Structure 1
Amino acid sequence: MAIARTHWDDLPSETRQAVEKHTGSVWSSRTVSEGLNSAVAALLDTASGKVFVKGLHRDYPRRWTQDLEAMINPHVRGLSPRLLWRVDGEWDVLGFEAVDGRHADFQPGSPDLPRLVDTMTALGNLSCPDLPVKVAEHRWRTYVAAPEELEWLKGDRLLHTDYNPANVLMMDGGALLIDWAWPTRGAGWIDPACLIVRLMAGGHTAEEAERVVAQTPAWSSAPEEGLAVFARASVRAWDEIAGNDPAPWIKAMAYAARDWLKYRISTNESG
């Protein structure tokens, strides 16, 4: 469920003053509607230039997502907008370089997809830094049929995992990944698998979606048994999420996960 937006002018004066120590005077602000996980999401025009800010109140239960974003940002330079500063008081606010871009189009045939795959390939080349991020076998542990299935998800790659089109910014130089609330260490093919379900929810067939990610090295080496385990886990995970939140996009993801599992089963049987 999306968090209600708090506008820049509605923040406490102490928070705004703390931000302006980094930016100089804020001349204008525009609240951004896209995104689900931040109470504050705004583009500020300031004395030192434009900056994008996102933040949560210090009492918000998932404020830890701000810690993860700040922690991982130095390790994904060139793949994500640069974190410039952080204000941590009554409100926890992250200030990022403003990027002149738009959110990705995931429809079949979109010219954005090859550029996103290039970014995913670059990310797949990164070993996960030695940081306290989530690990795949822990994140999906409640969605597998048996503990031994989790062995397929283990790996040393840095994963984004949340390929909502709103988390992909398209710019002249390619695609950037934003909203690193769930950085994860695991098998490199998990990110392409996460994108497949998103693409299917956006209108692709399973075959079309798998074709999009087919050129990534991680996908080309993905084990069939591991993909089957993850496909089943994805169905269980999205069914659980849809049971708690009937938003249309969540239902679409649950349907897509089921369709992908059917395709994986039929592919294995025919192979």
Structure 2
Amino acid sequence: MSSPRIVAAGVRPAWEELPAAVRAGVEDVLGAPVVAAVNQSGGFSPGLAARVRCEDGSRAFVKAVGTPLNPESPGIYRAEAAVVARMPTEAPVPRLRGTHDDGDWVALVFDEVVDGRMPHDPWRADELRAVVDAVVELAETLTPCPVPDLRPASAAMRGEMLCYRELAADPPGDLDPWERRHLDRLADLARSALDHVDGDALVHFDLRADNVLLEGSRVWFVDWPWAFRGAAWIDSATLLINAAYHGHDPEPYLDGHPLIAGADPEHVTALLAGMTGFFGAYARRPAPPGLPTLREFQRTQHATTLAWVRRRTGWE
């Protein structure tokens, strides 16, 4: 399942490059002027990510984006703020201190209590196992869903799970031969996932190495804009999509898995098929502003997830 990997990277501005009014708005949330900022890289975002130190000695983590960088990203940040503001205190999620929103620019200010780092790239087996176990604890902590008015999984995932139907309606010439041969079956399988993904857990739905921070033995989960209410096993399955992308065999992590073991294997395969179709369809679209590597990342994830789906279906 190995394949060349793409580093998650948006074209991020530095703190000093934000409009003065946005910096002032963030400082209002902080309650003191920023005297130092360490800009962070990594992750698929065109926005600022910075650890800041204030004149009063306090510290925070700030992420900010505006419509000039990407017209869709401010709405994504608003969605994240609406979720993380309602997280239970015991959830391994950095605390949201406040937001600045002027209509064009949105900034989220988090308490900097996490002195963590992203996992090694590629995933190391010990770190992957620690995060796999932590995702189980995360699902248990977030069930029942602390944000009960979120969309159910069957609504939130509908677009992704129907992407194979989009591809089947006008098959691209460069489809994998096995994929082309089974395109209609894959479309039906992916759509069937919508009948089995609802539940009462708060689902992150974007668990990858760059959305995880390791702080000693503790695992933190960041970047929640795509969250919805669904089956507790979904995040465990989608994390293993990222494991496959990094060259790990995901199947051993399923053996006796506390959440996935209780799900019908075909339902899990249906979800994986839906994500494969999503990666395949979106990789063929133009790159969004400020995210030059996203489509190539999706193209590579399509290849590694397709190989996993082919293995799980056993179709010739």
Query: So what's the TM-score if we normalise by structure 2?
Result: 0.75
The answer to whether 1:25 aligns with 2:33 is yes
- From 228, 232, 248, the counterpart of 2:273: 232
- From 91, 96, 116, the counterpart of 2:105: 91
Deviations 1:225-252 (A, max 9, x none): 2112112212211101221257443222
- Counterpart of 2:236 in structure 1 is 192
Q: Distance in 2 between matches of 1:232 and 1:114?
A: 24
- Counterpart of 1:180 in structure 2 is 224
For the residue of structure 2 that corresponds to 1:176, the secondary structure is strand
Deviation at 1:10, TM superposition (A): 1.7
Q: Distance in 1 between matches of 2:123 and 2:24?
A: 46
- From 47, 52, 74, the counterpart of 1:44: 52
The answer to whether 1:139 aligns with 2:156 is yes
Deviation at 1:45, TM superposition (A): 1.6
For residues 1-271 of structure 1, what are the structure 2 equivalents within 5 Å?
A: 3-23=10-30, 24-47=32-55, 48-57=57-66, 60-73=71-84, 74-77=86-89, 78-89=91-102, 90-98=104-112, 99-105=114-120, 107=122, 109-125=124-140, 126-141=143-158, 142-143=162-163, 144-145=187-188, 149-205=193-249, 209-244=250-285, 245=287, 247-266=295-314
Deviation at 1:43, TM superposition (A): 1.4
Q: Decide whether the 8 Å contact of 2:134 with 2:219 is kept in 1.
A: yes
Answer 1 or 2: which has greater strand percent. Answer: 1
Deviation at 1:140, TM superposition (A): 3.3
Unmatched 5+ stretches in structure 2: 1-7, 164-186, 288-293
Q: Distance in 2 between matches of 1:148 and 1:20?
A: 48
Q: Distance in 2 between matches of 1:254 and 1:21?
A: 43
For the residue of structure 1 that corresponds to 2:60, the secondary structure is strand
For the residue of structure 2 that corresponds to 1:102, the secondary structure is coil
- Counterpart of 2:182 in structure 1 is none
Q: Distance in 1 between matches of 2:151 and 2:13?
A: 28
CA RMSD across the alignment: 2.5
Higher relative contact order (CA 8 A, sep 6+): 2
TM-aligned CA distance change 1:122 to 1:102, over 3 Å: same
